[in-house]
A and B are shown apart, each in its own frame.
Chain A
């Protein structure tokens, strides 16, 4: 599996450089406009986009057909993608957390907001990965992109609609459990992993 992780790193190295560059730019803009939420959001979007990119690259060069001919079980191949996605999420969460703590004295000064923010963003990223990867395995990157938009549009619309009826901010109740969110999201990822293995075992290349 280490071999596959290294391979994925090489496969997306070009995109990785761009991501680091854009993140730095966004960081500068966020600090300047005193809106670190933007930086946090962008960083998390990249933690989702990089696994998608790596699967797009795989698809383009027919990697999976070759990978299953190597001494790797199909479960290992799927596992390596999940490990990559989760590691990326953790690394980005840590980086975002560190940056927020570092800049806090110059901005709002509210250290107490950092951990809840990082927890919820990290959990959000993992939940998206959990929904996304089985779709990518099942339908391929091209089709999954479309389905993805629909999948994420529905909850978004529901929140918008429900917020017009309730006076309280939508999903406010989640704030009470914010430290549990990453664990819950990880559970979702585990379930998603089991579904993806099932899909991948049935695949022909």
Chain B
């Protein structure tokens, strides 16, 4: 299986923040969820992939080609959704169609207008009359209308209601059906990731915490509930994070090491919260 996106040792330093040597790979035919709290470095990583900002170190290969050497050529095959819409308020979707077809070789206006209809977006209205959700859907429609092979999306579902979110996630699942396309999406909404992502990349304070297959991750980790005394007796180093409450202790653990205990399923949100906010042993 080929990788659509390969990132190796990506580093970018700001005054008060450092994206520190991030590496991961996104295989074709899959969706990768990119999670982490606000300020963890998700948007910085996406901007580096798209050469919107300059890296200090590291390599990025997209479709097997260096993304600096073949920048504009590679971008013909990437669909992009950034966290804010970037079209002037005075434009209409029809205007966008008129200039985008000169920018993307494979721009297909029928596809674009179909998505507008599907998302219920009026073609002739200026964007200033659009809600945030509508603008987001419009960006997604643009990203899907030029036969892209890779979608890179920064928080594409935030601000959308659950019904539309679900519809958009289905579109992403359709998109990867041909086994060559791939989707890289950052989000806060971990339930979306659980629904569609084959892989999860988790960063925290500019560092990579893990890159895992979603199923593997959910199988491996669980939440152990026990009393305070029992907790003290647990093997040190086996707890990834824990929190105490009135009734006892909850801890994120690797299931394999706690065969005799009652270990509940952990959601991705649990895993994220225990690792970021949980106390360490």
Contacts and interface: CB of A to CB of B under 8 A. Distances in A.
A71 B88 contact: no
A87 interface: no
B82 interface: yes
Nearest to A57: B88
Contacts of B88: 10-11, 57-58, 60-61, 63
Smallest CB-CB A-B distances: 10 pairs:
A3-B102, A66-B86, A3-B103, A71-B75, A204-B53, A6-B99, A7-B99, A10-B95, A69-B50, A71-B76
Interface of B: 47, 50-54, 71-76, 78, 80, 82, 84-91, 95, 98-105
B138 to A, nearest CB: 12
Nearest to B50: A69
A14 B85 CA distance: 20
A71 B73 contact: yes
Given A2-B102, A11-B88, A61-B87, A66 B82 contact: yes
Contacts, number: 82
Main secondary structure of the interface of A (DSSP, over half): helix
Nearest to A15: B90
A68 B52 contact: yes
Nearest to A6: B99
27 contacts: A3-B99, A3-B102, A3-B103, A10-B90, A11-B88, A13-B90, A57-B88, A60-B88, A61-B85, A62-B82, A62-B84, A63-B86, A63-B88, A65-B82, A68-B50, A68-B51, A68-B52, A69-B75, A69-B78, A69-B80, A70-B103, A70-B104, A71-B103, A71-B105, A72-B72, A73-B71, A205-B47
